Structure 1
């Protein structure tokens, strides 16, 4: 359990989390340290103001004036003992103070929440005193926001790195599966060609003709599979086809191999529905979905195909009454190699998505699935008839 959890991805996450936490704590430490230093500066400035108000010594006044002028970044507002603003303030926007009567009172209220005021008593009886409210310097404000900016930069960098790795992984994956498909087509090509030759020889013998015709059907099927694999990884030739007929032909083919305990239903518009497809690859998609449906039902149940036009799109739904797909597997079923069967490579749905989304610019997804009740896959393609009517004349 521990060994499975301790991998390089989790290690990177732990390291990144530790760095972020360290940066946050260190920036908070610096902020508190700077805040203490600024408090000392404000105390010195207030003492200088007190000296200016009460001292008659020239040297003291000169030193106090120098200390007062050295504060160029910490905002300070002076009020009397009743918190009425005297008009003496430092490092604030004088233009806004002149134009808005609420600017200085609002700043006093804000500073009061940050720090308690520094009080200078000028006279005991009756009480006369000045209060000095102060805020944060620009440097301290930057330091307090630094962790947030840092986290945003880390998040942006992590997102970009993740997207790059994901794209790179998908590209490598696509190249791998395309290469395997092409190599499979290449390896099948020679024996299929040889079988076609032997079928031609068998046809010359009248006694072997019935067997030759049946063998020829299987050889043609192998040739079709070879052609399909050969088209993976290359740009297929797309043309407008009546997919009502295409789906019907594939459904008839699967019916003969499904057994008597599977009931098929096919609903579609009464008129031909055209789509721009590669006929061999589109047939492969329908065949994959029907095979998945048959496997899910284990030879017994109901399969419904529904073809409908929805505005600029064509919807093709394949519904079965099989065992359904668990929620935790819905995001995995299109991944290469994922399968719940004891046999199989887990490539059927992967190639189905590649054919529909990359070659035909459509969509394929699980519309609905419930364990024990069944599953519906939906294919969405562009409707060329609607697209043609929308072209400008």
Structure 2
């Protein structure tokens, strides 16, 4: 899948690069050609102006036609040596009386083209200067590659989003399929075990055995229920958060040994966010087991619950080996694990439970290698 995606990404990037490169090259070619053509037109226009000024020819002759045709779309300002505006075309003539506007326009035109100068035929001691800019057509050709670059960029953006969405949908379908199949596969042997438990009850002397088997069977039923809920949309109900977490701490504490200390700090025992108890317990269990593995059987786990505004914060802190900052995002991806056994799905499931089913957030608040880690869960209050 990775190789397939990389191949497609490379091919799309190359096609986009070729399109953009070809467009920029051709647009520059056209822009230079139009620029040269406009320069010739302005030079002809200037000659026509001189001809009319010296010979007093009317607009019906060749010079007049050049004057009217060669400046149809090109902005022009003609000034005397003293800076007096003599003529203008395709600019806001009403603002040319403003010295600052006139200076900005002239400076801009000078940055684009070398001005054309000629001696005033009526007064040879005076020079007239023609400043000119670029036509709308030239600007459109010049900015066309930028527009196309934006279009290609948007195309690539939406293509990547579509590919990512399709990949996530495939992942979700895989998750649902695996969860449903696991729940189905567990259902039959668990039902059989429940039947055997009832048979064992009828035999005197098996009371202790039945009790222990019944505990394990209930655990298997809980796991089956969890996988069944993963494959569907769970029903959320108002649940006492502190009590729910306290029960999970008690369950983990019995299986953690005597060298691990648990502390629950709950500032408000009346917090009742909407939860799926079975799935939420699974998320907390995964985090606590992850903390136990990080501490290697000894240390301290602290769970702090508090409400700020309309959000509930749950911080789970351990004194384990910590997580390198480069792995802060990676730990939630499928397959990431530092243990010799396991599939690396615990934190992935936890993230899915908190964010997709409970509309919350989970992330590493802080972690220091050799000192410990704090995971933070944020739930809507």
- Assess same fold via TM > 0.5: yes
Write the distance in 1 (CA, Å) between the matches of 2:62 and 2:99.
34
Deviation (angstroms), 1:149: 2.0
What's the counterpart of residue 272 of structure 1? 270
**Cα distance per residue 1:75-104 (max 9 Å; x no partner):** 111122x25133311122234446x45433
Q: How many residues align?
A: 378
Q: Over residues 42-87 of structure 1, what are the superposed CA-to-partner deviations in whole Å (9 max), with x where a residue is unaligned?
A: 11111111211223678x981111111112011111122x251333
- Show the counterpart of 1:389: none
Residues in 1 aligned to 2:341 and 2:84: alpha-carbon distance in whole angstroms: 84
The residue aligned with 1:93 is 92
Q: Output the aligned Cα RMSD.
A: 2.5
Task: Sort the Cα spacing of 1:262 and 1:51 in 2 relative to 1 into closer, same or farther, 3 A.
Answer: same
1:64 counterpart residue number: 63
Task: Please give the alpha-carbon distance, in whole angstroms, between the structure 2 residues aligned to 1:237 and 1:78.
Answer: 78
Closer, same or farther: CA 296–159 of 1 in aligned 2, 3 Å: same
Query: Per the alignment, in what secondary structure is the counterpart of residue 92 of structure 1?
Result: coil
CA distance in 2, matches of 1:162, 1:225: 37
Provide the rounded CA distance (Å) in 2 between the counterparts of 1:248 and 1:56.
103
SS at match of 2:370: coil
CA distance in 2, matches of 1:215, 1:332: 38
* Counterpart check, 1:159 vs 2:153: no
Within the candidate set 199, 202, 206, 2:200 is matched to: 202
- Residue equivalent to 1:8: 8
Checking the alignment, whether the CA contact within 8 Å between 1:51 and 1:61 is kept in structure 2 is no
**Which residues in structure 2 correspond to 1:163-312 (within 5 Å)?**
163-269=161-267, 271-312=269-310
Gaps of 5+ in 1: 384-393
Q: 1:357 aligns with which of 333, 336, 355?
A: 355
Tell me, in whole angstroms, the C-alpha distance in 1 between the residues paired with 2:131 and 2:175.
70
User: In 1, distance between residues paired with 2:43 and 2:363?
Assistant: 68
Alpha-carbon separation, structure 1, partners of 2:47 and 2:69: 13
How far is the alpha carbon of 1:9 from its aligned partner? 2.1
Alignment partners' CA distance in 1, 2:172 and 2:253: 32
Offset, 1:145: 1.9
Shift of 1:153: 2.1
Q: More displaced, 340-349 or 249-258?
A: 340-349
Corresponding position of 2:324: 326
User: Relative to structure 1, is the Cα distance of residues 6 and 364 closer, same or farther in structure 2, using a 3 angstrom cutoff?
Assistant: closer
Q: Give 4+ residue runs of structure 1 displaced > 6 Å after superposition.
A: 3-6
Which runs of 5 or more residues in structure 2 are unaligned?
Answer: none
Q: Distance in 2 between matches of 1:54 and 1:369?
A: 86
Alignment deviations for residues 118-162 of structure 1 (CA, whole Å, 9 cap, x no partner):
112246996232211110111111222222222222222222222
Contact 1:338 1:346 in 2 (8 A): yes
Deviation at 1:359, TM superposition (A): 1.9
Q: TM-score, normalising length from structure 1?
A: 0.88
Deviations 1:1-56 (A, max 9, x none): xx999743234334423433333333223222221111111111111112112236
Spell out, residue by residue over 1:215-255, the C-alpha distance to the aligned partner (whole angstroms, 9 max, x if none): 11111111100000001131212211212111111111111
SS of alignment partner, residue 333 of structure 1: helix
Offset at 1:170? 1.7
Task: Write the deviation string for residues 166-220 of structure 1: whole angstroms up to 9, x where unpaired.
Answer: 2222222112101111110001100111111112212222222212211111111
Cα gap change, 1:309/1:288 in structure 2, threshold over 3 Å: closer, same or farther? Answer: same
1:95-134 pair list within 5 angstroms: 95-97=94-96, 100=98, 102-122=100-120, 127-134=125-132
User: TM-score by structure 2 length?
Assistant: 0.91
Structure 2 match to 1:84: 83
SS in 2 for 1:207: coil
User: Deviation string for 1:332-390 (max 9, x for gaps)?
Assistant: 2222333333322222222212222222222222111222222111111222xxxxxxx
Would you say the 8 A contact 1:52–1:61 is kept in 2? Answer: no
Change (3 A) 1:39 1:215: same
